[in-house]
Structure 1
Amino acid sequence: MRPVIILRPEPGAEETAARALTLGLTVRLCPLFEARAVAWTAPAAAQFDALLLTSAQAARLAGPQLAAYRNLPAYAVGGATARALAAQGFDSIVSGDQDGNAIAARIAADGHRRVLHLGGRTVAAIAQGPLSIQRTIIYEMVGRAGAELATLLQPGAVLLIHSPRAGQKVADLVPVNLRDQFHIVAISPAALSACGDGWASAETPDRPDDERMLALAARLCE
């Protein structure tokens, strides 16, 4: 069976691996990045009428300061982010299954305007529309050595790409003349584009969802 190579950072890598094993897939773990908290100053909650998180890492790494925003309506991109917020004591959470632009539109439609976005040092741009969004950096992704990936790559392997940054690193690590041996399943069009061309196959699910990515990978492994 073709192996599925999971490149996302922990703890997401183990979560994806557990889901993949329930589907009977052969799993290889090779996180390309490690999420690390950075020192941050929490803006006063009274300045905002909504909280936005586009990554579960933000909820996991924000620290005790995150509790200051529990009375704000919280908006999350993806189920994992929503679950991470719930684990931190938030009970008013709206989860969107698309991207930052879609959730921003939902925030605006709900009548909010002043938004605090807690996220990583590198994030995809969000079309603000009528919103005033203040970004506060609370974590950063630190690259790990990529030599391990070469030892896991075997012809037919399926690489799961959970971010544009991971796609770019895979493009850097896998020579163009070898890419036709491997398959790509990327969480979004932006992540797919970052992988470059020349792969045996390259696709994204209809929504940026881990379960949908694994469903595509399972079909490739049949």
Structure 2
Amino acid sequence: MTRPIVILRPQPGTTTTAQRVRAAQLDPIAIPLFVVVPLDWTPPDPSAFDALLFSSANAPRHAGPGLAALAHLPVVAVGPGTAHTAQSAGLTVIETGNQDLAALVARQPAHQRLLWLAGRDRIALTHPAIRKIIPVYASEPVRLTLADADRMAGGVVLIHSSRAARQLRAELDRLGLPRTSIRVAAISARAANAAGTGWERIAVAAAPNDAALIAVARSLAIDP
């Protein structure tokens, strides 16, 4: 019997990944560990910047009316999904990465003046091109219930970030539940390391994107 695939992402990522899981002929279970909320922020003087940096589609999705003051600035987006959301918001994307934020930023010239509209909780990243960071949204944790934890047992959990890995581990520990019946598919080695040990099995996607993550999850789901 094929194991179900557990999705921890907040909406709308939950629905997007669930559609991809179904397309792979696997059964998704949605148990979001976070809910995304907008933050109050004040747009800076746009003349101080050459472009916007988006490390998540949540930035253009939740930036709110303040984004209008910066709408003439082009966008450097971490991946295709983020680029699509930025374009849907009326912005112009000039560069799209492959979901590897560090590699994307490393390619930027030092004289580039980037304004990073980010999440409140984000990876630590420095580069001369990043001139200012403004949090415009936050991913607030959601408590795991015993019922949700029971649904995870025997499944394959998709870990999309290091923070999600830490949150899942902390919630299972809070509930006093073992991890030995859960398999983990991590989107990166960093996320896998954050998940720690004690899982039935853990595997890392070949690339930091949903397609590769679901592919490695499939191998975990059908392997006895």
Scaled by the length of structure 1, the TM-score of the pair is 0.91
Match of 1:178 in 2: 178
- Find the counterpart in structure 2 of residue 124 from structure 1: 123
1:74 pairs with 2:75: yes
| Distance in 1 between residues matched to 2:83 and 2:143, nearest whole Å | 30
Match in the other structure for 1:216: 216
Measured after TM superposition, the shift of residue 112 of structure 1 is: 4.5
**Matched positions, count:** 218
Cα distance 1:118–1:24, how it changes in 2: closer, same or farther (>3 A)?
Answer: same
Question: Which ranges in structure 1 are unaligned for 5 or more consecutive residues?
Answer: none
Q: 1:190: how far off?
A: 2.1
Please provide the CA RMSD for this pair.
1.8
- Normalised by the length of structure 2, the TM-score is 0.90
1:9 corresponds in structure 2 to 10
Q: In structure 2, what is the equivalent of residue 115 of structure 1?
A: 114
- How far residue 72 of structure 1 moved from its aligned partner, in angstroms, is 2.3
Distance in 2 of aligned mates of 1:32 and 1:169:
7
Any stretches of 5+ residues in structure 2 without a counterpart?
A: none
Task: Using the TM superposition, give the Cα deviation of residue 5 of structure 1 relative to its aligned residue in structure 2, in angstroms.
Answer: 0.3
The offset of 1:67, in angstroms, is 3.0
Q: 1:68-120 CA deviation, whole Å, 9 max, x = no partner?
A: 33332311112221111111112333111142221111222xx6421100011
SS of aligned partner of 2:108: helix
The Cα of 1:177 is off from its aligned counterpart by 7.6
Matches within 5 A, 1:21-170: 21-108=22-109, 112-128=111-127, 130-147=128-145, 148-155=147-154, 157-170=155-168
Q: Does the CA contact (< 8 Å) of 1:162 and 1:187 recur in 2?
A: yes
- Change in CA separation of 1:132 and 1:26 when aligned onto 2, cut-off 3 Å: closer
Give the Cα–Cα distance (whole angstroms) in 1 for the partners of residues 180 and 138 of structure 2: 32
Q: Is the CA contact (8 Å cut-off) linking 1:67 and 1:88 kept in structure 2?
A: no
Q: Distance in 2 between matches of 1:143 and 1:8?
A: 11
Range that drifts further, 174-183 or 67-76: 174-183
Against the structure 1 CA distance between its residues 127 and 203, is the aligned structure 2 distance closer, same or farther, given a 3 Å change threshold?
farther
> Structure 1 112/12 Cα, relative in aligned 2: closer, same or farther at 3 Å?
farther
Per the alignment, do residues 16 and 114 of structure 1 end up closer, same or farther by CA in structure 2, a change over 3 Å counting?
Answer: same
Identity value in percent: 36
Secondary structure, aligned partner of 2:16: helix
Question: Residues 42 and 215 from structure 1, CA distance in 2 versus in 1: closer, same or farther, beyond 3 angstroms?
Answer: same
Contact 1:58 1:119 in 2 (8 A): yes
